[in-house]
Amino acid sequence: MTAATDLYERYQRAATAHRQHRASCTNCTDTGRCTAGQRLFETFARLQDAHLNRQRNQRN
């Protein structure tokens, strides 16, 4: 597995984890997140940024 694929897989997993948490958690709302939800979101956002940055860099 290449580093790019690994990053994409982790990004997808983080997105799924966050989405599933959001769907099942009663403490997370549209305007606020519980501690676990915030952690999942931050992981997802960080991996998404890294993934998008890599895509941008590959195109240039």
Where along the sequence are the contacts to Zn ion (CB under 5 A)?
A: 25, 27-28, 34, 37
| C-beta of 27 vs 53, nearer to Zn ion | 27
Q: How far is the CB of 9 from Zn ion (least distance, A)?
A: 23
| C-beta of 40 vs 51, nearer to Zn ion | 40
Q: How far is the CB of 22 from Zn ion (least distance, A)?
A: 7
Dihedral, CA of residue 38, residue 39, residue 43 and residue 48, to nearest 10: 0
CA distance 28 to 14: 17
Token representation of residue 27: 């403490």
The residue among 49, 48, 44 whose CA lies nearest residue 20 is 44
| C-beta of 37 vs 50, nearer to Zn ion | 37
